[in-house]
Amino acid sequence: AQSVTQLGSHVSVSEGALVLLRCNYSSSVPPYLFWYVQYPNQGLQLLLKYTTGATLVKGINGFEAEFKKSETSFHLTKPSAHMSDAAEYFCAVSFSGNTGKLIFGQGTTLQVKP
Q: Which residues bind other proteins (CB under 8 A)?
A: 32, 34, 36, 42-46, 49, 51, 90, 94, 96, 98-102, 104, 106-107
Identity of the residue, 43 or 114, whose beta carbon is nearer to other proteins in the bound complex: 43
Name the residue nearer to other proteins (CB basis): 6 or 73. Answer: 6
Least distance (Å) between residue 15 CB and other proteins: 26
- State the Cα–Cα distance between residues 57 and 103, nearest whole angstrom: 20
Q: Which is nearer to other proteins, 34 or 63 (CB)?
A: 34
- Cα three-residue angle 68-72-75, rounded to 5 degrees: 65
Angle (CA) 85-4-32 rounded to 5° is 85
